[in-house]
Structure 1
Amino acid sequence: MSVDQNGYIGVVGDQPFQTDFHSLLQEVRDRFSPQTLTLVHSVYIYGSIATGKAVAGRSDLDLTLILNKAPSKHDSDLIESKRRNYEIANPIVSKVDFGIGFLEDIVSADASLAWRYWLKQHCRCIAGEDLAEDILLFRPSRSLALEVNGDFEQVLGKNHRLLLVSRPASNNGRLVREASRKLIRSTNILRKDRDIDWPDTLEEHVARFQGLFPDHRDELQYFFQQAREPVAEPEYFAGRLEAFVGWMSGVLHNRAQQRLCNAWPGYAAGRSVFISASFSGLGSYHLNGHTTPSLLRSFRQCLPAFGVQRGSSLNRVKLNKSRRSKVCGNPVGIVSSSVSGLTKACRGNQT
């Protein structure tokens, strides 16, 4: 996905859909529109059909359904039944995939940036109210990449567990494919803060990664092959998946630790760092009154290694000079304390 002359990430666009898929898309509107299913707020298409690059009989139909509320078990079973029947009845696509989101996650005051990015940059509305119309364009950034794919350990950990459970071969193939695609796209979080490009296709992600980490090019090439044609044995694939995720997590941890160290260059013994958000929150952190949102994940990833537990409400962190020199190498302790009135002062600095 190109970045335009103003530095914004491009959107899918509204080019005409390919003629081969017109009747298919009309059937989607008939089966899944808000007029047919009141639980549905809007329906979006993404992937090769959305971009006009689909191949009849080979491409997938990728849909995102935004629901007005969380579905009951009956609702979930109904949607899945419709998806399965629709897939069987339409051999023009290799399979039908649904992504499910909730209206509250997109329009609320603390809306998910990942969902808003997804609808704006990758999706085309084909039924219901187009929520993307009110979403501003995005610029490439490491923080955006983390919002979009920062959940890779959780998502791929679930895939890993499912692959080790006995299930039909067709289900395993689907899991292998989904995990491979998620892993490849998640490599974008290894970008640097100064990077201004933004990969879109799997091919672009692979090329970008292999340029940055040539020693690991073969590992990612393996997952690219499985994303295209998932034929790997589940246990073997799960082992390679676990190893690669572990490597990525290590790279992120090392970088986060280094960023944390770089934030303290002029701090002597007894100096304090004021943090205006709880460790478990999603707000910006402030170092002595200076907003530093780029350090958010650094603190979240590094502080547990330094002895501060997740969920702690930190008003002030004091770093001993004798320990500071060790922070950049080995995990050590951070002395934390709460000072009366400091919370109120910090809140005044929040953004």
Structure 2
Amino acid sequence: MAAPPPPKGLDTQGYIEREGSLGRIPHVFRPVVAVARDRVLDVFGARLHSAYLYGSIPRGTARVGRSDLDLLLALAAEPGDADRADARALGAALDREFPEIDGVGTLLFSRERLLSDLERYDLGWFVACLCTPLLGEDLAEYLPRYRPDSLLARETNGDLAVLLPRWRERVAAADAGDDPDEARRRLVRFMSRHLVRTGFTLVMPRWNGWTSELEEMAAVFGAYHPERAEQMRTAAALGHEPTGDRAVLTSYVDDLGPWLAAEYTRVHGVKAPRPEPTSS
């Protein structure tokens, strides 16, 4: 078995360090972040508690014309249809106006949910460790510090078995859509990233570190599961450069995904049920 890369991403006490900052945003992306900040405030106003960036832009690793702008908005109340419609319209407008980005993804949750006991080791951890404050009060001040342990692994990605049937439905819907190749390409990108992250958190407690870089996640996973290493390296590459190949999606929902879900349940158990899905 090849040795995994040295652990990283922890402070001197073994807690996961918060990744990303406004200071790490590459200059080419700063105009879109500034406009997004102003428009989020204009659009959501009093509905907004706080707003955050996450992903490659605040980590400083975004690629011009290839990376998307990722936002998380904490609202004063549970988001409704009007909130979701406003977020979609805002994202579509930013995507049209700024060729530097390739799409906008916006997560909407209430402040109460983000700070709830049920979400403490999933959405709460996400805000505290993977999100960069953009507007308002930082909810990380109300959340604990986190270690890369089995509890965190279970509550972040221990629901893959639940998600797989929905993924199969999305593949079928993509096949039947107006532009199947583009729909499949987007699914490949999404599923590739999800599977790589799930594979990484499967072995994260053994590695005892944190990273958000897909290639490094795949390398860490592959050191502990060499029989699946090539599949995960390929998935990491497709997370950046997706294809519309139906065979890739089939391999995900019929092979890699079911194996990973079963292994995850065996090692870490099953994520606590949610009243509604947190991802799809």
- TM-score scaled to structure 2, two decimals? 0.82
Q: Which residue in 2 is equivalent to 1:218?
A: 230
Q: Distance in 2 between matches of 1:123 and 1:245?
A: 27
Q: Give the Cα–Cα distance (whole angstroms) in 1 for the partners of residues 218 and 35 of structure 2.
A: 35
CA contact (8 A) 1:13 1:51 kept: yes
Q: Does 1:180 align with 2:187?
A: no
1:1-351 equivalences in 2 (<5 Å): 2-14=9-21, 16=23, 17-33=25-41, 36-165=44-173, 166-167=176-177, 168=179, 169-191=181-203, 195-234=207-246, 236-242=247-253, 243-255=255-267, 297=269
Any conservation in 1 of the 2:183–2:244 contact (CA below 8 Å)?
Answer: no
SS in 2 for 1:182: helix
**Structure 1 residues 68 and 157, CA gap change in structure 2 (3 angstroms):** farther
Per the TM alignment, residue 109 of structure 1 is displaced from its structure 2 partner at its CA by 4.8
| Number of equivalent positions | 259
User: Does the 8 Å contact 2:200/2:218 carry over to 1?
Assistant: no
What is the letter of the counterpart of residue 55 of structure 2?
A: G
Corresponding letter in the other structure for 1:23:
P
Equivalent in the alignment of 2:278: none
Q: In 2, Cα distance between the equivalents of 1:175 and 1:36?
A: 29
Paired residues of 2:182 and 2:244 also in contact (CA < 8 A): no
Deviation at 1:138, TM superposition (A): 0.9
Q: Quick check: 1:150–1:189 contact (8 Å CA) kept in 2?
A: no
Residues 9 and 140 of structure 1 are in contact (CA less than 8 Å); yes or no, is this contact kept in structure 2?
yes
The verdict on how the C-alpha distance between 1:144 and 1:31 changes in structure 2, with shifts beyond 3 A counting, is: same
The CA RMSD measured in Å over matched residues stands at 2.5
Q: Relative to 1, partners in 2 of residues 1:33 and 1:203: Cα closer, same or farther, differing over 3 Å? A: same
Cα distance change, pair 108–197 in 1 and its aligned pair in 2 (3 A): closer
Note closer, same or farther for the CA distance 1:172–1:128 as it changes in structure 2 (3 Å cut): farther
* Cα distance between partner residues in 2 of 1:52 and 1:60: 13
SS in 1 for 2:244: coil
Query: Is the contact between residue 115 and residue 143 of structure 2 (CA under 8 Å) also seen in structure 1?
Result: no
Query: Deviation of residue 151 (structure 1)?
Result: 1.9
Deviation at 1:233, TM superposition (A): 2.1
| Alignment match, 1:343 | none
Measure the CA separation in 2 of the matches of 1:255 and 1:74.
Answer: 41
Change (3 A) 1:9 1:225: same
Contact 1:202 1:224 in 2 (8 A): yes
Aligned position for 1:285? none
Output one character per residue of 1:199-232: Cα deviation in whole Å (capped at 9) or x when no partner. 3311121001111111112221231222111113
Higher helix proportion, which one? 2
Instruction: Answer yes or no: is the 8 Å Cα contact 1:39–1:71 preserved in 2.
Output: no
Residues in 2 aligned to 1:72 and 1:136: alpha-carbon distance in whole angstroms:
28
Q: CA deviation at 1:193?
A: 5.5
Asked whether the 8 Å contact 1:34–1:40 carries over to 2, the reply is: no
Q: CA deviation at 1:88?
A: 1.1
Paired residues of 2:115 and 2:142 also in contact (CA < 8 A): no
Is there any run of 5+ residues in structure 2 with no aligned partner, and where? 1-7, 273-280
Residues in 2 aligned to 1:223 and 1:109: alpha-carbon distance in whole angstroms:
33
User: SS where residue 133 of structure 2 aligns?
Assistant: strand
Greater RCO structure (CA 8 Å; 6+ sep): 2
Tell me how far apart the structure 1 counterparts of residues 62 and 261 of structure 2 sit (CA, whole Å). 34
SS at match of 1:24: helix
Contact 2:79–2:108, Cα closer than 8 Å, also in 1: no
Residues 268-292 of structure 1, C-alpha deviation per residue, up to 9 Å, x if partnerless? xxxxxxxxxxxxxxxxxxxxxxxxx
- Cα 1:173–1:6, aligned 2, differ >3 Å: closer, same or farther? same
